[in-house]
Amino acid sequence: MTDFLISSLALVITLPFPFLFLFYFFARKWYRHKQKAFHQSVTVTAPIFIVSVHVLLFVLFERSFFAYIIIMLLLLLALSVVIQYKVHDEIRLFKAIKSFWRLSFLLFFAVYSSLSLFGLINRIFFS
C-alpha cells in the first residue's frame, strides 16, 4: 500500500500537467462553473508545481535550490502585500495570500514549462 502511495506521489510530482487537467476535469464536474473550477485547480496544483520545479532543478543541475525557492516565495508574498496596500490602502491578509498563491502558480507553471523544455533540449542535443 505504501509503495502505491509513494509511486502515485512521484507520478504527480514528475508529471504535474496531467494532474492539473485531471483535477480541472473533476472540479468542473463538481462545481459546474468553469472559472470556479479553474481557480480551485490552481489552488490545489500550485504546491505541486513548486515541488516539481524543485525536483526538476535538482535533476537538471544536481544541486538543491530549495532555499532560493523559499526566498522567492517570500518575496512574492511581500510583493502581493505591497501591491494590495498600494491599491486598496489596507491589507486584507486572505486576499493577499490568495493573490500570492495564484501568482506563484503562474510563475512556477512557466518555470516548470521552461525547465522541461530546457531539459529536453539539453538531453537530446548535448548528451
Asked if the model's pLDDT at residue 56 lies above 90, the reply is yes
Asked if the model's pLDDT at residue 88 lies above 80, the reply is yes
Which pLDDT score, from 0 to 100, does residue 44 have?
Answer: 92
| Single pTM value for the model | 0.89
Distance of CA 40 to the CA centre of its chain: 13
As a whole number, mean pLDDT of residues 95-117 equals 94
Which pLDDT score, from 0 to 100, does residue 124 have?
Answer: 92
Which pLDDT score, from 0 to 100, does residue 30 have?
Answer: 93
Asked if the model's pLDDT at residue 1 lies above 80, the reply is no
Determine the Cα angle at 125 with ends 121 and 127, to 5°: 105
Which pLDDT score, from 0 to 100, does residue 60 have?
Answer: 93
Cell reading at 51? 515541488
Domain coordinates in residue numbering, the chain:
2-126
Which pLDDT score, from 0 to 100, does residue 9 have?
Answer: 78
Which pLDDT score, from 0 to 100, does residue 102 have?
Answer: 93
